[in-house]
Amino acid sequence: MTRKVIWSPAAEKDFESILEYLTLKWNKQIIRKFINKVDDSIELIIEDPKIFPIINSKLQIRKCVVTKQNTLYYREKRASIEILRLFDSRQDPKKLTF
């Protein structure tokens, strides 16, 4: 069953911020690698949504480490995968809200 991937507004903003940072500090090859890692992680989640650990059982939020610096938070819905955040782990963890 192919699931639809839905990005929350916060996740979209996170992704844009990370890409802006990479654009300023790194080159296009690094940006492509990052995008590919995010895409690969999402493909794994689509194949098996339960592959990554639950970090919040009440909200059913799971955590996927994309890179050392970036973690993707998501939850499984009936027919979709909801990407909640793409968080840069170098930030203050108090900024991570769902």
The whole-number pLDDT of residue 22 equals: 93
CATH number of 4-89: 3.30.2310.20
pLDDT tens-digit map of 46-97: 999 999 999 999 999 999 999 999 999 999 998 999 999 999 888 888 888 8
The yes-or-no verdict on residue 1 having pLDDT over 80 is no
Residue 65 vs residues 46, 73, 88, 95: alpha-carbon distances, Å: 15, 9, 10, 17
Name the pTM for this structure: 0.92
Judged by average pLDDT, the poorest of 32-36, 42-46, 86-90 is 86-90
